[in-house]
Amino acid sequence: SQQGEEDPQALSIQEGENATMNCSYKTSINNLQWYRQNSGRGLVHLILIRSNEREKHSGRLRVTLDTSKKSSSLLITASRAADTASYFCATESGGYQKVTFGTGTKLQVIP
């Protein structure tokens, strides 16, 4: 069963706009990660936020985590055409690397 569920499933924006994707999960977690997948490629790690953190930044990425609502959001500011990809959240709970991936948000940035 999927732990993380991303919302929306698909998002289309103009270049320069901000893109926000949300992830909801069901059980308590140790940390939550966001990955990007370009078409036909493997996943690439973007950012990790631990359960005791509320917000984290990395370049144009901003991730928030609300453990009381069991949700996280990924904000990409000033989007570029190269940001076009699918974005997955992955939650880690329990020991021994129990990581569960969501179903992903497909982002299209139109030049």
Partner 1 sequence: NAGVTQTPKFRVLKTGQSMTLLCAQDMNHEYMYWYRQDPGMGLRLIHYSVGEGTTAKGEVPDGYNVSRLKKQNFLLGLESAAPSQTSVYFCASSYPSGLDLGETQYFGPGTRLLVL
Of 17-46, which residues contact partner 1 (CB under 8 A)?
A: 30-31, 33, 40-45
Q: Is residue 59 within the footprint of partner 1 (CB under 8 A)? A: no
Q: Is 50 one of the binding residues for partner 1 (CB under 8 A)? A: yes
Two tokens at 54?
A: 């509320």
At its nearest, how many Å lie between partner 1 and the CB of residue 14? 26
Any idea which residue has 């140790």 for tokens?
30
Identity of the residue, 72 or 88, whose beta carbon is nearer to partner 1 in the bound complex:
88
Nearer to partner 1, 19 or 90 (CB): 90
Neighbouring C-beta atoms of residue 60, cutoff 10 Å: 14
Query: Is 96:10 a contact under the CB 8 Å cutoff?
Result: no
**Stretch binding partner 1 (CB under 8 A), from 11-19, 20-28, 71-79, 98-106:** 98-106
- Size of interface with partner 1, in residues (CB under 8 A): 25
Q: Which residues make Cβ contacts (< 8 Å) with residue 81, sequence separation at least 6? A: 15, 109, 110, 111
**Residue 24: which region, alpha, beta or left (left: phi > 0; alpha: psi -120 to 50)?**
beta
What whole-number distance in Å separates Cα of residue 97 and Cα of residue 8? 27
Give me the residues that bind partner 1 (CB under 8 A), please.
2, 4, 30-31, 33, 40-45, 48, 50, 88, 90, 92, 95-97, 99-104
